[in-house]
A and B are shown apart, each in its own frame.
Chain A
């Protein structure tokens, strides 16, 4: 198991930093929605091919 290295050391040794996690969360959100968009476009392609118009 790997741990993140903090930009600033903390008194109690906690290496979780809010801005780092928020940035990673936002990036994950964008990637997830992009993947869903790609899947939807795939399905639309197939429907277009099936419907023929």
Chain B
């Protein structure tokens, strides 16, 4: 078990947090987007993370200590879109209803703060592993 595994594990974490920040940015950008069709309006997207267990065997050894994270995919929220009555809207359907996206801006901002903290912490882990490895190389000098 070497320190070089930290680069792989934390690298996977940085990738996952980047995807999370991208989806959060998409949600925030489309928070006010509307459509006349409830099926076509923008729905909030969230990534799904999963731990990359290397072995199915969970015996007490050190082979399971380098577990990265994998993004399974991006799922759309099933919350119902906001329905407002605006007959003069250019995109209103035949009954005058307009559907807005179901993005919750407060939730997206907390996701953004959490992604920021996780990203910074994982960068800290990479920096620490790099410093320790450099100290090992310069051992005795």
| B-binding residues in A (CB < 8 A) | 1-2, 18, 21-22, 25, 29, 32-33, 36, 39-40, 43
Contacts and interface: CB of A to CB of B under 8 A. Distances in A.
A29 B6 CA distance: 13
Contacts of A22: 121
Interface of B: 58-60, 64, 117-118, 121, 124-125, 128, 132, 135-136, 139-140
Say what secondary structure dominates the interface of chain B.
helix
A43 B58 CA distance: 40
Given A22-B121, A36-B139, A40-B139, A1 B60 contact: yes
Say what secondary structure dominates the interface of chain A.
helix
